[in-house]
Copies of this chain bind each other. A is one copy, B any other.
Amino acid sequence: MRPRRQTGRMNIHQQVVRELAVRILSGVLRPGDILPTEDNASTEMDVSRTAYREAIKVLSAKGLLESRAKVGTRVRQKSEWNMLDPEILGWKSEIETPSKFVDDLFEFRMIIEPAAARLAARKGSPEKIDKIRHAFETMANTEMSSVENFEADFDFHKSILEASENELLSSLGHVVETLLLTSFELSALRPGAREQSVPLHGAVLAQIQNRDQDKARDAMTTLLASARTDLDDVLQNDIHETTILKKADPDDTSTRAGGNRSPN
């Protein structure tokens, strides 16, 4: 068993959303391209025009599409895409090569999370800091690489973002979650790293509790740098395996929990 991304039963319009999103994010459909008319596209995909329209609305809400009467539905410029949208991040993680994806995400985390830790130390409410502490204790008391441990890890980082007392930062929990999910999936193949994980998390917690802003920030930077190193090792070693895994994941229909034993 392992933490899972959304992949199970989906509504019809969600299936269309996913199908189109993947086509756009993978570059099959490119910015400026105009989709077939609602009538053609929906019959092509074998769904009702209404369901198709609902899918278009969802993707427009995420900045991927734009519809205008008489001209059609067009793929918007990349700069208009809401890349931080949780679903878009999730789709990208399935499409892009792990290393490129991980690079961008880690770079982003290295900006956001140390700053959040700093703010948490400055103005995090006692309750929020208590939530961080609770997540840490759960982390320390659960088996490494277990689902409970993963969830506590995520809670830890999410709680720090929330303790920053800034709504914009708080809403970035999903960015962390997506990266952690990717990390988890990759390092589940090759466990053993992350020995220093608990003390590094502990250091962050301690400095936030101390209300030492700069040290809290630095502790988070250290923690992330370590996590990145661990992940880089996995990527180095498993580069070909993971590539195979990506390719051998064409349809999630099988819903095989964890054990992808011999895809053939």
Chain A residues engaging chain B, CB cutoff 8 angstroms: 13, 50, 53-54, 57-63, 78-79, 81-87, 104-105, 107-108, 111-112, 115, 119, 158, 162, 166-173, 175
Q: Judge whether A167 and B58 touch: CB under 8 Å.
A: no
Shortest 5 CB-CB contacts between residues of A and residues of B:
A83-B171, A61-B61, A111-B115, A58-B61, A108-B168
Distance in angstroms from A217 CB to nearest chain B CB is: 11
5 A-B pairs, CB-CB below 8 angstroms? A57-B58, A61-B61, A79-B171, A82-B84, A111-B111
A13 to B61 alpha-carbon distance, docked (Å): 12
Query: A169 — nearest CB in chain B belongs to which residue?
Result: B108
Indicate which residue in B112, B173, B175 contacts A111 across the interface (CB closer than 8 Å): B112
Contacts A82-B82, A85-B82; A104 near B13 (Cβ below 8 A): no
Chain B residue numbers with a CB within 8 Å of A53 are 54
Distance in angstroms from A213 CB to nearest chain B CB is: 13
A240 to B188 alpha-carbon distance, docked (Å): 58
Indicate which residue in B60, B84, B87, B119 contacts A84 across the interface (CB closer than 8 Å): B84
Chain B residue numbers with a CB within 8 Å of A108 are 166, 168-169
Chain B residue numbers with a CB within 8 Å of A167 are 78, 83, 104
Distance in angstroms from A113 CB to nearest chain B CB is: 10
Chain B residue numbers with a CB within 8 Å of A170 are 78-79, 83
A79 to B82 alpha-carbon distance, docked (Å): 17
Indicate which residue in B60, B86, B104, B158 contacts A166 across the interface (CB closer than 8 Å): B104
Chain B residue numbers with a CB within 8 Å of A166 are 104, 107-108
A59 to B62 alpha-carbon distance, docked (Å): 10
A162 to B115 alpha-carbon distance, docked (Å): 21
Q: Judge whether B62 and A61 touch: CB under 8 Å.
A: yes
Q: Judge whether A85 and B85 touch: CB under 8 Å.
A: yes
Q: Judge whether A79 and B111 touch: CB under 8 Å.
A: no
Contacts A62-B61, A85-B85; A162 near B79 (Cβ below 8 A): yes
Indicate which residue in B61, B84, B107, B162 contacts A171 across the interface (CB closer than 8 Å): B84
A119 to B110 alpha-carbon distance, docked (Å): 12
Beyond the given pairs A79-B171, A83-B168, A104-B168, 7 more chain A to chain B contacts, judged by CB atoms under 8 angstroms and listed by A's residue number, are: A50-B50, A57-B57, A63-B86, A82-B171, A84-B84, A108-B168, A111-B112
Distance in angstroms from A223 CB to nearest chain B CB is: 18
